[in-house]
Structure 1
């Protein structure tokens, strides 16, 4: 009998460890294709037992997102609703639809960034007012908008994550307007963490090293920078989407319950290097 008791106990413990997000509901914004960091995180959370709701922008991405979700194992296909984060009405509708299925949520990923092509091609000092405002609205204000709408559904507390980059602290040539935008995003994380902390909601940023995604390839000279980053990083390699997903899983669980307002670098050590 004693053997049976211990066996059952440890089997249950192992099952819980394998599924640390079992029974949790997670919202993911920013899935664009199978190479995107948001998709890697969504897969990790799903594997850990979370029920997913994906927010995608426009009909252009609907088919791509639905095809990706159909590949996930399990009988229940995650939900997916349109959500243009620059449209307050769509944001409200997204959360209304989510609430109809899940009265509470536990995790939210904001993996959204955008800068007009012109702003990345010109000198930084030539950034237009319109391009500046559009970049900050999409890349920074959207986190505030999502956190505000999500707050009521975080009835048991939880974790909000966003994605930043080292260009928030140091000048990365050709990153241009996105550098100040990421700096503002990291400051936003700290202020949200302060105000939402009393509700048990943690807010953190992940700052991966350069990853060969479709979005990153749009930055001039990215391929060269990718090679240089691997050479100069203490670990001698580039960051992979699975590295970021592992960190995102940790910050989504209760194992990180005392961590909030932080920017966690996942860059193989590149950010610690000087000359």
Structure 2
């Protein structure tokens, strides 16, 4: 019996088979879940990556900045499953001006894009999926990178992640009466395609190798996937508004 037997999940952000979202989707299927993926832009690429999963899932298009696509999301998901028990938000984007050390120069139009796609979209996605949750509720899960401190080069994406963490807490408050939990997983640095686009990413990796008491592999997605599957399951029924760190213990250490 799998941890997610009978669960129906919508998972966003599967860009490559080296993404965190792909690792979550793969393990969720292995644990018994039915998975539907969303993609944006190069849909043929997303569909090709989806076929690498143990059971190739349905893929639908979703631009979280498109109100029309959000409004139609529930109906489009119902074409593949009769409801949802969990949603994974693995979406983030910031224009180049918002990363790399030019924090003071980034224009508002670029910053607003980063905030809309990386922060506000958690609320947008959750609201769009509300009609798909039943009386038993379920789980909304997002991914963050520790926003309690300032990271070199992370700049306005760090600000967007701080907003994401706050948004998750407010969603936990608003969705709790519907028995829907909202939590985040804060992962250590992983060599995903998204991470490679961050200038100075190697600086993060160097710090982790010397400070994480459990050690840290920047190529092993399994710990994050396992934690995510646990949060999507029924095994943490009273946990919401939480940020679960999967970083080898780095966040708890001093200099």
| TM-score range for the pair, normalised by the shorter chain length | over 0.9
Aligned residues of 1:36 and 1:214 also touching (Cα < 8 A): yes
Q: Which has the larger radius of gyration?
A: 1
Shift of 1:22: 1.6
Output the CA distance in 1 between the equivalents of 2:182 and 2:52. Answer: 30
Aligned residues of 2:101 and 2:153 also touching (Cα < 8 A): no
Name 1:38's counterpart in structure 2: 21
Name 2:224's counterpart in structure 1: 244
Unaligned runs of 5+ in 2: none
Name 2:45's counterpart in structure 1: 64
Aligned partner of residue 101 in structure 1, secondary structure: coil
Shift of 1:271: 0.6
Output the CA distance in 2 between the equivalents of 1:163 and 1:170. Answer: 16
Is 1:189 aligned with 2:172?
no
Aligned residues of 2:20 and 2:221 also touching (Cα < 8 A): yes
Name 1:269's counterpart in structure 2: 249
Output the CA distance in 2 between the equivalents of 1:47 and 1:64. Answer: 23
Output the CA distance in 1 between the equivalents of 2:176 and 2:17. Answer: 33
Output the CA distance in 2 between the equivalents of 1:176 and 1:211. Answer: 18
Range 121-130 or range 257-266, more displaced: 121-130
Range 77-86 or range 97-106, more displaced: 97-106
Q: Structure 1's 209 and 122: CA in aligned 2 closer, same or farther, altered over 3 A? A: closer
Shift of 1:31: 0.7
* TM-score normalised over the length of structure 2: 0.95
Name 2:139's counterpart in structure 1: 159
Range 227-236 or range 137-146, more displaced: 227-236
Question: Alpha-carbon deviations, 1:146-178, whole Å to 9, x = none?
Answer: 111111111130000000111x11011100001
Is 1:50 aligned with 2:29?
no
CA RMSD in angstroms, aligned pairs only: 1.3
Name 2:234's counterpart in structure 1: 254
Where do 1:197-236 residues align within 5 Å? 197-236=176-215
Range 132-141 or range 62-71, more displaced: 62-71
Output the CA distance in 1 between the equivalents of 2:80 and 2:19. Answer: 26
Shift of 1:122: 4.8
* TM-score normalised over the length of structure 1: 0.88
Kindly report structure 1 stretches of 4+ aligned residues shifted beyond 6 Å: none
Aligned residues of 1:231 and 1:237 also touching (Cα < 8 A): no
Output the CA distance in 2 between the equivalents of 1:70 and 1:163. Answer: 23
Aligned residues of 1:226 and 1:238 also touching (Cα < 8 A): no
Aligned residues of 2:101 and 2:154 also touching (Cα < 8 A): no
Name 1:93's counterpart in structure 2: 72
Equivalenced residue count is 253
